[in-house]
Amino acid sequence: MTATLHALFDELSKYLAENFDPIGDGVDIVVVAVGVYWLLKLIRGTRAVQVLAGLLALIAMSVLSQLFQLTTLIWIFDHFLASAVLIVIVLFQADIRRMLARVGRRVSPSAARRQETQILEEVSRAAQALAQKRVGALIVLERDTQLDDQVEGGVALDAAVSRDLLVALFLPYSPLHDGAALIQGGRISRAGCILPLSERQDLPEGLGTRHRAAVGLAEETDAVVVVVSEETSDVSVVCSGELSRKLDPDRLRATLREKLAASPAPASVAAEPEAGTEGSGPRDARLAG
C-alpha cells in the first residue's frame, strides 16, 4: 500500500510539474471554490445537503475501488454512477426546481420582487377576508429553510397563489380546512398539512392551538407565519421569536414585506385552523427562550 501511495504521489508531482499554470490554474481554482461555496449556500437547509454528502461518499468509494482494483465494486460503481444523476433528478425534482428558482431570482431580482409583492398581496387579502368571515387560518411563508421536513402530510396541489383559493381552502366545508396549505416556489404546493406544535409554557396567555403551531414552526425554521384567529378575528405574524398581533391590512403588508426582505427565498404558505381561545394581549411581543 505504501508503494502504491508513493507511486501515486510521484505521478501527481510529475503531472503538476509538466502541466501546472500558476495564473490559469489559479483562476480556475478560485472559480471552482466560489462555485462550490455558492452551491453549498444555495442548498443549505435542504435535503440536498444529505444527498450531496451521500454522493461524495460514493465517489470516494469508487476512487478507492479503482485504486485497490476491487473488481466487484468497480463493476457496481460503473453501472450505478452512470444512472445516479437521473436517479437524483427524479427523486429530488422539487428541490432542484427550488434551487433553479433561487438562481433565477438572483439573476433577475426585479422579476423576483414583483412575484413576491404579488404573493404578499394575495396572502394579505386572503387573511383579511378570512378574518372578516371569522374563519381561522395559519399561513406560513417559507424563506431559506426548506419546510418539507417540518410540515407533514397534505394533498398535492401545485396551484397559483390567489386570495380566492386560500380563502376556499379554509372555509368550513373544505375537506382541507383542518390542515395547512404550503406554498413553495411561488405556488401552493400542498394543502391539509400538519404543523408542529410548540411545547413552551411561557407563551402569552390566551394563545390557542393555531398560534402554538405558528410558534412551533418558527422555532424550528426561519419561516414567517400569518395567523388568523377564529375566536377574535385578529391577524398575527410570527417570525424569529417575534409575535406581532392585531395587525390591520396595512400593518400586515408592511410586516410581511419587512420579514421577507432579509431572505432571497420565495414566499411559501401554509395554513391550519385552531382549537382553543386567543386573548387580546399586546400588539407585539418578543418570545424569549
Beta bridge partners of 286: 242
Give residue 268's pLDDT: 41
pLDDT at 196: 87
Residue 253 DSSP SS3: helix
Its sign, for the CA torsion 75, 78, 84, 86, is negative
Residue with cell 426548506: 146
Answer yes or no: are the C-beta atoms of 113 and 257 closer than 8 Å. no
Identify the burial level of 141 via C-beta atoms within 10 angstroms of its C-beta, where 0-12 means exposed, 13-18 middle and 19 or more buried: buried
Rounded-to-integer distance, Cα 289 and Cα 286, Å? 9
State residue 266's pLDDT score.
Answer: 40
pLDDT of residue 211: 84
C-alpha distance from residue 48 to each of 92, 93, 99, 140 (Å): 8, 11, 10, 22
Confirm if 225 and 239 have CB atoms less than 8 A apart. yes
**62 vs 192: CA distance, rounded Å:** 43
- Cβ neighbours for 159, distance < 8 A, ≥ 6 positions apart: 165, 187, 188
CA nearest to 234, candidates 203, 208, 198: 208
CATH topology (fold) of 109-286: YojJ-like (1 (3.40.1700)
What is the pTM assigned to this prediction?
Answer: 0.63
Beta strands, E only, the chain: 137-141, 152-160, 180-184, 187-194, 224-228, 235-239, 242-244, 284-286
* 8 Å CB contact between 212 and 289: no
* Run of H or E residues at 128: helix 109-132
What span, in angstroms and rounded, lies between the C-alpha atoms of 34 and 31?
5
pLDDT at 272: 44
Specify the domain boundaries for CATH 3.40.1700.10 within the chain.
109-286
Question: What is the chain's pLDDT, residue by residue, as a tens digit (289 residues)?
Answer: 577 767 767 776 776 666 767 777 778 888 888 877 777 766 665 666 667 777 778 788 888 888 888 888 888 877 776 677 777 777 666 666 666 666 666 666 666 678 788 899 999 999 999 999 999 998 888 887 778 778 888 888 888 999 999 999 999 998 888 777 887 878 888 888 888 888 877 777 777 888 888 888 888 888 888 989 888 889 999 888 788 888 998 999 999 888 877 554 444 444 444 444 444 444 444 454 4
